[in-house]
Structure 1
Amino acid sequence: MKLIEGQLIHRRYRLDSRIAKGGMGEVWKGWDIQLNRPVAIKALRSDLSNAEAKLRRLRAEAHNSANLAHPNIAALFEYYEHDGIGFLIMEYVPSKSLADLFHEQGAMDPLTLLPILIQTARGLFVAHSHGVIHRDVKPANIMVSDTGEVKITDFGVSYSTNQEQITQDGMVVGTAQYISPEQAQGQQATPQSDIYSLGVVAYEGLCGHRPFTGATPVDIAAAHVNDPVPPLPANIDVQLREFIMSMLAKDPLDRPKDALVVSRTLARIERRLLDQQTELNDSTRIMARSGGRLPRRITSMPHIPLANARVTVTTPGVSGTVPDATPITGEQHTQNDSSRRMFGRSSNE
């Protein structure tokens, strides 16, 4: 069965335009004619070999996504099969992926990247709480709206602790550039595996490149297993550097306990960096108003016009009041200084 524009699926969902085509299926932007809203439709490709096994995987994705109701996870609306083709009807997310943002911007400011990482970690924690491991956390599966809202997508290779085993023991599942060491060795993925992959995403966002490269996916996966993670740049906040490196620990036991710890720790770092930036901005504004100098607190005596002042003079044996004093001339200054020396008094008394 070949899918075409305008085709109606399940007498309800219209195929409008194909968004992507991958190894397992294709994704369309569609329209729910009953609820008048856009939807994303993921369909199993009809030209696949071993289609039944692929269909089981699509069913597993539907099963794993069904109960993951969270603002940071793209929602699954319905699963439907017809003529041997499975259809996932999902929330349509009209956003760029984090991979698009990395391509456009390169290294991102930590205060721009941190909210994305925090929301992703929150979504992963909900998935993990339901026994679902994503197993393919990467920038292309993290959608970011213009207002900064994050949606995790594509649970196509996810694993659930309460489902039958689909992948064979020792089979490597994931994307080589973001795969955890244990996944690269064919071991069972855990929540810490997703945390490692998110650590790779964070590393790439801060540096503008991934920690490991290689000529082939196998070389890259081997580097995740064997090579030390290159240090993050020294100009990145030290607490942020240390925490990202803990997410990238080779041993899963050395990584953060869960994705909730990740989101809370990154949120604390974000708040501290925001406070520092606010203090810096305030200092900059004050200096700008003061001509580039920080103002000093100065206490001034009130000004009294000399023309209206009455000056009382008290000296040994002499006292009196001089009315309507006039401004003192240079010659009078000299005379007054001589008088003070004669009477033995200083000007500070």
Structure 2
Amino acid sequence: MYNRRKFIKISAAGASLAALSNSAVAKAISSTTDAGFPIVISTWDFGIIANKGAWKVLSTGGRALDAIEAGARIPEEQDISSHTVGRTGLPDRDGHVTLDSCIMDENGNCGSVAAMENIAHPISVARLVMEKTPHVMLVGEGATQFAVEQGMKKEKLLTPESEKLWKEWLKTAKYAPVMNIENGKKPGDKYNHDTIGMLAIDAKGNISGGCTTSGMAFKLHGRVGDSPIIGAGLYVDNEVGGATSTGVGEEVIRNVGSFLVVELMRQGYSPEDACKEAVRRIIKKKPETAKQIQVGFLAINKKGEYGAYAIQSGFSFAVCNAQQQDLLIKGKSFY
């Protein structure tokens, strides 16, 4: 049986998590901190390598939007063991690797792709949708066609390892939408489909965000989660802040989760408290379902204060600013 608890493997282009010193990885730090500008925060452990890519842009005075695209492309490209983003993503029930992504800038412009196949960098296609079309979202074959027209490479994304894991799953497949528990793990945790959501504030104080994923492992063909949906998987308001989500997208969509977090911050909630309230509403709406799944929110406000909250323990997020390059924070949770 495949063991998803092994460390993330990073190619030579990224830094090895195993090489991080104990002091660099924070286990218990207040997650409502004013870190100043510029800053980038990302969901899960591989947020560290994504943040490094974003920081190359932010540290030289670059725009937050450019930092988001540069950072998100790294986990989309890397050979990482989680099989949840980009070219190494696990396929759907029928063996198709379908990718979802969205991006949003400080002016409220946004772009998105969903159920896109054969293109390794959906974050870049989402940006092209935002900048080159009058639309917000392109899906399926149309998204792939557009990407190729814009000069992106069409390639097979199903890797031999992912194909092997899919065929193993097929032997005992018992698919139930949302409640697709793999290897005893809760759907939505970092061993199943850890979406990477990113939020950045540049030196000018402008906020942008992005979200990218291959979605729930072995999902029904055509399933789309919250990640490419503006207001669900991502939302940015440059007057207030930004939020992103990870986990079982169906529950995030039902609560328009990221938009809710931003609106709560507009009302005066701290980022952490806003995330906590969004999680509480998910639990209140479907308490029995919530016990069996994971959903987490990550947010940053206009001051650069950040925070996170999840249903289950185990959620982590990465922070990168001028003071700390490799900070990994353990998120708080209800359970």
> TM-score when scaled to structure 2?
0.27
**Structure with more contact order per residue of length (Cα contacts < 8 Å, sep ≥ 6):** 2
Higher helix share: 1
Q: Which has the larger radius of gyration?
A: 1
